[in-house]
Structure 1
Amino acid sequence: MAGRAEAASNGGRTANRLLQVLRLFAREESLTAERIAERTGIPVSTVYRLLAHLTEFDFVRRSPAGPMYAAGPVAVQFAERYRSEALLRTTIGPRLARLSQESGELAAYLVPVGTEALCVDAVEGLRLLRCCYSRGATQPLLRGATAQAILACLPEERRQAVYAAYDLSPEQVGDLEAEHEQVRREGVAVSEGALDEGVWGASSPVLDADGVLGGAVTVMAPAARSTHHRRYYVRLVREAARDLSGGTF
């Protein structure tokens, strides 16, 4: 009986420690094992064992850029489900539906999660479009209008962490920073074929009352079909972002 009680006690302590670690990833974009140990008081050797378990089941993933850990696919799915439910109680869903109706194209809302952009809601246009933006899908915060709209409005430290994660050269970082300055100035980013061949997109950042990024609104359309409507689509996506930002853009 004593052995069984001790095993139960150890199991409960491990579960508590796992939850402590997971809770940190709800607050931080990425962490090292040493930083987790500092924040939780858990021995670093134990932290590594916990991270191994969480990585095995996709709650946490290790960054290819170094000894950093971030939320994994399963954790992102939890976040996506939470955000999807929250969207039902906000103006985002109806505003996306209006944007899709006005443009006749796919409209989506994405948020930054670590070094990726997560699509939390998408509304198909009158004509279906095959592209990478579907609800729950993630894409690297690296290429395309949405990535640039989001990156442009992230704090410097977070942008640099994304650049490091994708091992970008100083020249590549310089080019992106120039693009981001233009996005901040104009309130919109555009791209063609960056993620899906033959697809054009326009994206505008959504900011809260304090100017903190919440996400980005995007319209995507076949490049050939959008040729004569791009200025109109840009205006629509900026208006949608402005409405959701409370008039920021």
Structure 2
Amino acid sequence: MSAGARSRNDGRTADRLLQVLLLFAREETLTATRIGEVSGIPQSTVYRLLDRLTASGFVRRRPDGYAAGPVAVQFAERYRTGALERTAIGPRLARLSRESGELAAFMVPVGTEALCVDSVEGSRVLRCCYTRGATQPLLRGATAHALLAHLPEARREAVYAAYGLPPGRVRELEAEHAEARRQGVAVSESALDQGVWGASSPVLDAEGVLVGTVTLMAPAAHTAQRRPHYIRLVKEAARDLSGGTI
């Protein structure tokens, strides 16, 4: 095997390992069969990947399948105590939630998913998928549009390809992302959760590279008149978190 072929093979294996690990961020327990169905990875390859992840401590075997292992848990705890709790994210989300009375979250892109790394519930009870540690497809909704709009073109194309989007839909999304960049915010209604309206604005570092997004979620039926106010609050929170290390 040539050096180039080995490099491509190693890269594909790394992508698949990451793909499997991301599944464990979404579900507590998975079988090898389920992993193959969701990921599209051949079953024999799934078992080889699980053997590697189990040996390294990222995954552990259970009677009913596989679950996140001790190393994965240590990573999550290290991120929570060593990084997230030392940033301005939590306090700024809490302020946004107080000012709006709604749920506020900070989302980051991970592979083809949007991961919620922190969230603060509002004064209303909202049945919403944006809870800490939850992931959603990086495909639809305000958060996905705000994240994709500020990712490099090659990264966006990789996401489109992973979801098998036809060219027409890609053109539609690219137009939406251009508008999100122009407005500095993306909005959606009932894209992920029925009856939930959302607004999401990007957080950029000092070089203008995407860090994540600030997202606000509210009941669509009861907040129509307040949406311009919510958009302003979300954009202000994102600006406050942008421009440095958080």
Residue 196 of structure 2 corresponds to 199
Structure 1, residues 3-27: CA drift from partner, whole Å, max 9, x if none?
xxxxxxxxxxxxxxxxxxxxxxxxx
Q: What TM-score comes out, normalization by structure 2 length?
A: 0.73
Return the alpha-carbon distance in structure 1 between the equivalents of residues 68 and 198 of structure 2: 25
The alpha-carbon deviation at position 82 of structure 1 amounts to 3.6
Residue 51 of structure 1 corresponds to 49
Q: Gaps spanning 5+ residues in structure 1: where?
A: 1-29, 37-46, 61-71
Count of aligned pairs between the two proteins = 197
Return the alpha-carbon distance in structure 2 between the equivalents of residues 150 and 235 of structure 1: 18
Work out which of the two has the higher radius of gyration on C-alpha atoms and give 1 or 2. 1
Q: Contact 1:83–1:120 at 8 Å: present in 2 too?
A: no
Q: Give me the CA root mean square deviation.
A: 2.8
The alpha-carbon deviation at position 177 of structure 1 amounts to 0.4
Return the alpha-carbon distance in structure 2 between the equivalents of residues 216 and 196 of structure 1: 18
Q: Give the partner amino acid of 1:32.
A: R
Q: Contact 2:105–2:119 at 8 Å: present in 1 too?
A: yes
Residue 185 of structure 2 corresponds to 188
- Asked if 1:117 corresponds to 2:114, the answer is yes
Q: Gaps spanning 5+ residues in structure 2: where?
A: 1-9, 17-44, 60-66
Q: Contact 1:202–1:220 at 8 Å: present in 2 too?
A: yes
Return the alpha-carbon distance in structure 2 between the equivalents of residues 234 and 108 of structure 1: 14
Residue 168 of structure 1 corresponds to 165
Return the alpha-carbon distance in structure 2 between the equivalents of residues 76 and 180 of structure 1: 33
Other structure's SS at 1:126 match: coil
Q: Give the partner amino acid of 1:164.
A: A
- Asked if 1:243 corresponds to 2:237, the answer is no
Structure 1, residues 67-100: CA drift from partner, whole Å, max 9, x if none?
xxxxx97687665444322121111110000000
Residue 208 of structure 1 corresponds to 205
Q: Contact 1:206–1:213 at 8 Å: present in 2 too?
A: yes
- Asked if 1:33 corresponds to 2:33, the answer is no
Q: 2:79 aligns with which of 79, 83, 95?
A: 83
Residues 78 and 128 (structure 1 numbering): CA distance in 2 closer, same or farther, change over 3 Å?
Answer: farther
Q: What TM-score comes out, normalization by structure 1 length?
A: 0.72
Q: Contact 1:108–1:121 at 8 Å: present in 2 too?
A: yes
Q: Contact 2:207–2:243 at 8 Å: present in 1 too?
A: no
Structure 1, residues 13-58: CA drift from partner, whole Å, max 9, x if none?
xxxxxxxxxxxxxxxxx9303999xxxxxxxxxx997524246799
Q: 1:128 aligns with which of 109, 125, 128?
A: 125
- Asked if 1:99 corresponds to 2:99, the answer is no
Q: Contact 1:144–1:191 at 8 Å: present in 2 too?
A: yes
Q: Give the partner amino acid of 1:83.
A: Y
